[in-house]
Amino acid sequence: MEILIEGVTALVAEPGRIAMMLIGAVLMYLGIKKQYEPTLLVPMGLGTILVNIPGSGVLMTGGEPGPFQILFDAGIETELFPLLLFIGIGAMIDFGPLLTNPFLLLFGAAAQFGIFFVIIVASLLGFDINDAASAGIIAAADGPTSIFVANSLGSKYMGAIMVAAYSYMALVPIIQPAAVKAVTTKKERRIRMNYNPRAVSKTAKILFPVIICVIAGLIAPDSLPLVGFLMFGNLLRECGVLDNLSMSAQNELVNLISILLGLCVSVKMEYHDFLQVDTLIIMALGLLGFVMDSVGGVLFAKLLNLFRKEKINPMIGAAGISAFPMSSRVIQKLATEEDPQNFILMQAAGANVAGQIASVVAGGLVLGLLL
């Protein structure tokens, strides 16, 4: 009883801990009730509660690192968890729609604009360049890349960056329509696009991930851990002789890493690290980045339309972010809202897959320029 009273007193003495527990509860609510990225928000939510209990044994026990700290040191400090997650993501991606229409690759590049916009805004706000870049990379709309880059740059806002990256990704259906509608007209959103699917050979699908590794490695060697693991996963999928490994990567590996990642990231959710004005600013910058990604992609498509006879629906540009397949579905929904007979899902999916490649390349380039 005495111990309980001591614990409650310690908790009440530091209201920040209670506030963080409430934040943890909100994360779990969003994951369970709203189903926003539950695989990460649920473990992260409970983890946030656990690390904010006074004298929590998950962080330190008997003067030795506790289980969360050990997991963090082994999986995040070493960058192993985000990379392993990439194997699973790579195994899930079908580059078919992209290889059918490789022109869509350019939208993947255009829709990374938010990253660079946020780096500039964060620098203007007085953030250290490494923290500014880590905030910018939230706009890669790619959780593992955000963790990898923020950790490599030694950002002190790791917790905020993780929460922002994953929660905004879950909020793409809310963020993107508003951003897209702000920079397009009804007429533009009604533009129809012809889709002429052509088959892609198995050899081309097998060679594609290998060649991307070589190109990305030669231009941005720092991107190779990200690109290499992503493409390794894709090679498992496409080679045709490792279906069991591909399925394991897509299911067991992704599930296991998601559990561990969500739990151990909460090491950075202690109240004294998280409850700062800077954290709120980082979260706001992340949101700005997501908006500017969509705006950048749409404006690039509009620019191309100035020179093209066959017009592109500019919303395709917004699908060039990495949040796959959510973003392409959102764009298709927007197109259908304006014209129920307008089907641009395949083009949007191609741009969306391009966004996956572009986001890891962006992460590697930012690292290469700063390290």
Partner 1 sequence: MTFNLENLEVAFQILGLGWGGIFLVMLIIYLVSLVLGRIFPPSESE
Residues that bind partner 1 (CB under 8 A): 98-99, 102-103, 105-106, 108-110, 112-113, 115-116, 119-120, 122-129, 132-133, 198-204, 207-208, 211-212, 215-216, 219-220, 278, 354, 357-358, 361-362, 365-366, 369-370
Closest distance to partner 1 from the beta carbon of 134 (Å): 12
Shortest approach of partner 1 to residue 175 CB, angstroms? Answer: 21
| 8 Å CB contact between 86 and 226 | yes
Nearer Cβ to partner 1 (50/139) = 139
**Contact call for residues 334 and 215 (beta carbons, < 8 A):** no
Q: How many residues does the chain have?
A: 371
Enumerate the β-bridge partners of residue 64: 61
Residues in a beta bridge with 61: 64
Contact between 57 and 66 (Cβ < 8 Å): yes
In the bound state with partner 1, the residue whose beta carbon lies nearer, of 49 and 362, is 362
Least Cβ distance, residue 234 to partner 1 (angstroms): 13
Nearest approach, Cβ of residue 232 and partner 1 (Å)? 17
CB of 195 to partner 1, least distance (A): 16
Q: Which of 286, 301, 287, 289 is nearest to 110 (CA)?
A: 301
Nearer to partner 1, 165 or 354 (CB): 354
Identify the CA nearest to 316 among candidates 110, 107, 168, 175: 107
Q: Which is nearer to partner 1, 108 or 143 (CB)?
A: 108
Give the pair of three-digit tokens for residue 222: 């720092």
CB 30 within 8 A of CB 167: yes
Please report the DSSP string for 96-116 in residue order: HHHHHSGGGHHHHHHTTHHHH
Helices (H), 52-170: 67-72, 80-92, 96-100, 105-110, 113-124, 129-136, 143-152, 158-170
CB of 313 to partner 1, least distance (A): 20
Residue 116 or 343 with smaller CB distance to partner 1? 116
- 80 vs 78: CA distance, rounded Å: 5
Q: Which is nearer to partner 1, 130 or 167 (CB)?
A: 130
For the bound state, the minimum distance from the C-beta of residue 209 to partner 1, rounded and expressed in Å, comes to 11
Name 139's Cβ contacts closer than 8 Å, sequence gap at least 6: 112, 114, 115, 117, 118, 286, 288, 289, 290, 292, 293
Smaller CB separation from partner 1, 95 or 168:
95
Which residue's CB is nearer to partner 1, number 272 or number 333? Answer: 272
| Min CB(119)–partner 1 separation in Å | 5
